[in-house]
Amino acid sequence: MDGNSIAQLAYLSLLLAAVGGWVLVEYRGRLSFALRSALAWGMIFIGVIAGYGLWGDIRSSIAPQQQISGERIEVPRAEDGHYYLTLTIAGTPVQFMADTGASNVVLTRQDARRLGIDPSVLNYFGEANTANGVVRTARIKLTDVELGPVKDAVLTAYVNDGEMEGSLLGMDYLGRFRIEIAGDRMILTR
């Protein structure tokens, strides 16, 4: 141990002695109550740590996920009433909201960056009428697009120059499937 480690150990020992002394004075005659309280808080602390560590596993069972069976993709309706699909584009998963009212596949600037596309160097020659008004768009080509076993070598898409909460999967892509809405599920088959 070097000098800093010894100093840290001494400081922690003094801190533990001070807190321990306070507990002994405060809970004099009620040490069993103090022990139960400490044990309860320790269990709460361990439970929070375990929940945080397991959140990735828990989240996938709570949140609706697309299910793939052969060339049939079932997408459950999310809490907000929309359908979300995750496509793999050149090896990168990207979440899209299925939008049958949109003509094109539209990426947010953030998703474009994740795919290695720099939105600041794109030519925004196109325009799109959206619920938020007219926005500028740049046409791009996506390669190696996969939705489960369904693969497309090239897909035309657009990067939106406006603010978007998420990327949209329009009819350019959805039109390649037979779409069926059954209860709270959207079923895509090709």
Pairing verdict, β 72-76 and 67-69? antiparallel
Q: What is the pLDDT of residue 71?
A: 76
List of the chain residues with pLDDT < 70: 55-64
CB 94 within 8 A of CB 103: no
Q: What is the pLDDT of residue 173?
A: 93
Q: What is the pLDDT of residue 2?
A: 83
Which of helix, strand or coil describes residue 167? Answer: strand
The structural domains of the chain, ordered by start, are: 3-62 (no CATH), 67-189 (2.40.70.10)
Give 54-69 pLDDT, tens digit per residue: 766 665 555 557 777 7
Give 101-121 pLDDT, tens digit per residue: 888 999 999 999 999 999 999
Measure Cα distances from 120 to 30, 141, 176 in Å. 67, 16, 31
Angle, vertex CA 145, rays to CA 130 and CA 116, nearest 5: 75
Q: What is the pLDDT of residue 29?
A: 81
Q: What is the pLDDT of residue 38?
A: 81
Q: Which residues are paired to 42 by β-bridges? A: none
Q: What is the pLDDT of residue 92?
A: 94
Q: What is the pLDDT of residue 186?
A: 92
Q: What is the pLDDT of residue 90?
A: 93
